[in-house]
Amino acid sequence: MPTQVVPIELGDRRYDILIGSGLFDCPTSYEQLANSAGHALVVSNPTVGSIYADRLVSALRQIYLDVRLVVLPDGESHKNAETLGLIFDALLSSKSDRATTLFALGGGVIGDMTGFAAACYMRGVPYVQVPTTLLAQVDSSVGGKTAINHPLGKNMIGAFYQPRRVIVDLDTLDTLPQRELVAGLAEVIKYGPIADAAFLAWIEENIDSMLARDKSALAYAVTRSCRVKASVVVGDEREAGRRVILNYGHTFGHAIEVGLGYGTWLHGEAVGCGMVLAAALSARLGLVDSAYADRITRLIARAGLPVVAPPIATDRFIDLMQLDKKSEAGAMRFVLLDGPGSAALHSVPAEIAAEVIERNRTG
């Protein structure tokens, strides 16, 4: 499979996303990175590390003077300040300096925490994303959003900090549990309604192939998703405008994750349900017709993602969404659909959001 290169053109912070097979443990994937003569710290978790860490460390030892590994607890419930401190412990105990590069080997949790640690350590050291889940490959590894969670809100403590490279090795999807693959499809589906109507139609035609792990279908989906996200990020790196559309479904989704407890639903599962609720809210406000909202719901259901809200009390749901980063001056704001392949940020009264939740919930 030929390697695809998707550039992120951000001036002096420019970097490439490499997409292909056999990439993550090939030393040439990491050539010409800054500070390659220095030290490297690979950050992973027990699940991914047990399969891939030795191979990545071996490849990096052909380039870097010293390569170390730190293994963090697995799961969204550990994406917090305490776990972040384990990365700093590893850096400081090995006397790592500014010639150290961090490598995030894992899914979105590992990528977010490694990036945030890189942004903070000595006020900034380089890092490389090596995403091993579909969700991380198409979304969280690209664009420089880094963060940890707080008990009161998801991703509320973080920084915009771009990686030096993203290595998307599609072979790592071979060991991805089916539930994780399905969760990743939520972020693939997202790009169609918000920015690429033709891609939405392609997803509808190929969803079964992706669920069956057809490598060519997954390769196309990952590459197209990264190209859409790259175009949005390059135009609005720090989410001052259009980049906010990438949060479609996330206001509802983050509230579900916090309300149920981190890790009860996977991030992609919560976002999938959040996209259904956001589509229903779009139709409720007359921004799209009900047939289009139903189309989005059918696709999300075909992917195997939840399409009804969990039994979180409505008042609790609303309170959590009011903590969302898009809220402004106390007003709730949602990314909503306003036509095929088009989305925008809208202020919504709490009572209308509550109505949509109650019409689309279990329990």
Contact present, 183 and 265 (Cβ < 8 Å):
no
| Element (DSSP H or E) covering residue 363 | none
- Residues listed for the chain: 363
Which tokens belong to 188? Answer: 């693939």
pLDDT in tens, 38-53: 899 999 999 999 999 9
pLDDT confidence band for 326 (50 / 70 / 90): confident
pLDDT above 70 as % of the chain: 98
Q: What pLDDT is attached to residue 175?
A: 97
Tell me if residue 254 is catalytic: yes
Q: Which amino acid is located at 24 in the chain?
A: F
Span of 71-75, 126-130, 295-299, 327-331 with lowest mean pLDDT: 327-331
pLDDT confidence band for 35 (50 / 70 / 90): low
Q: What pLDDT is attached to residue 37?
A: 63
Rounded average pLDDT over 271-286: 98
Residue 114 has pLDDT above 80, yes or no: yes
Contact present, 281 and 297 (Cβ < 8 Å):
no
Burial of 329 (0-12, 13-18, 19+ CB in 10 A): exposed
Catalytic residue selected from 190, 227, 250, 333: 250
Tell me if residue 82 is catalytic: no
Residues 6+ apart with CB under 8 A from 194: 245, 246, 248, 335, 337, 341, 342, 343
CA torsion through residues 317, 323, 328, 334, sign = negative
pLDDT confidence band for 323 (50 / 70 / 90): confident
Catalytic residue selected from 229, 284, 325, 333: 229
Q: Which residues of 273-311 are buried (b: 16+ CB within 10 A; e: fewer)?
A: bbbbbbbbbbbbbebbeeebbebbbebbebbbbbbebbe
Q: What pLDDT is attached to residue 278?
A: 98
Catalytic residue selected from 247, 325, 333, 360: 247
Which tokens belong to 266? Answer: 């996977």
Rounded-to-integer distance, Cα 294 and Cα 327, Å: 27
Catalytic residue selected from 243, 284, 325, 333: 243
Catalytic residue selected from 76, 237, 239, 269: 239
Contact present, 323 and 156 (Cβ < 8 Å):
yes
pLDDT confidence band for 34 (50 / 70 / 90): low
Tell me if residue 145 is catalytic: yes
Rounded-to-integer distance, Cα 296 and Cα 275, Å: 8
Separation in Å, CA 326 to CA 37, 97, 112, 126, 346: 41, 36, 19, 28, 10
CA 137 to chain centre: 8
Domains of the chain: 4-175 (3.40.50.1970), 178-359 (1.20.1090.10)
Burial of 16 (0-12, 13-18, 19+ CB in 10 A): middle
Contact present, 344 and 243 (Cβ < 8 Å):
no
pLDDT in tens, 182-213: 999 999 999 999 999 999 999 999 999 999 99
Mean residue pLDDT across the chain: 95
* Three-class DSSP category at 63: coil
Tell me if residue 239 is catalytic: yes
Burial of 160 (0-12, 13-18, 19+ CB in 10 A): middle
pLDDT above 90 as % of the chain: 91
pLDDT in tens, 306-315: 999 999 999 9
Tell me if residue 243 is catalytic: yes
Rounded average pLDDT over 338-349: 95
Which tokens belong to 146? Answer: 């880094």
Residue 3 has pLDDT above 70, yes or no: yes
Catalytic residue selected from 79, 254, 284, 333: 254
Residue 300, phi then psi, degrees to nearest 5: -65, -40
Rounded average pLDDT over 93-122: 96
Residue 54 has pLDDT above 70, yes or no: yes
Q: What pLDDT is attached to residue 205?
A: 98
Tell me if residue 346 is catalytic: no
Q: What pLDDT is attached to residue 363?
A: 58
Token pair 């996209």: residue: 275
- Which among 323, 296, 305, 306 has a CA at the least distance from the CA of 360? 306
Burial of 271 (0-12, 13-18, 19+ CB in 10 A): buried
Catalytic residue selected from 82, 95, 123, 351: 123
Rounded-to-integer distance, Cα 131 and Cα 48, Å: 10
Catalytic residue selected from 267, 284, 325, 333: 267
Tell me if residue 229 is catalytic: yes
Work out the angle at residue 249's Cα, subtended by the Cα atoms of residues 172 and 284, and round it to the nearest 5 degrees.
Answer: 150
pLDDT in tens, 205-243: 999 999 999 999 999 999 999 999 999 999 999 998 999
Rounded average pLDDT over 91-103: 95
Tell me if residue 179 is catalytic: no
* Three-class DSSP category at 158: strand
- Which among 187, 182, 183 has a CA at the least distance from the CA of 211? 182
pLDDT in tens, 245-277: 999 999 999 999 999 999 999 999 999 999 999
Catalytic residue selected from 39, 79, 145, 224: 145
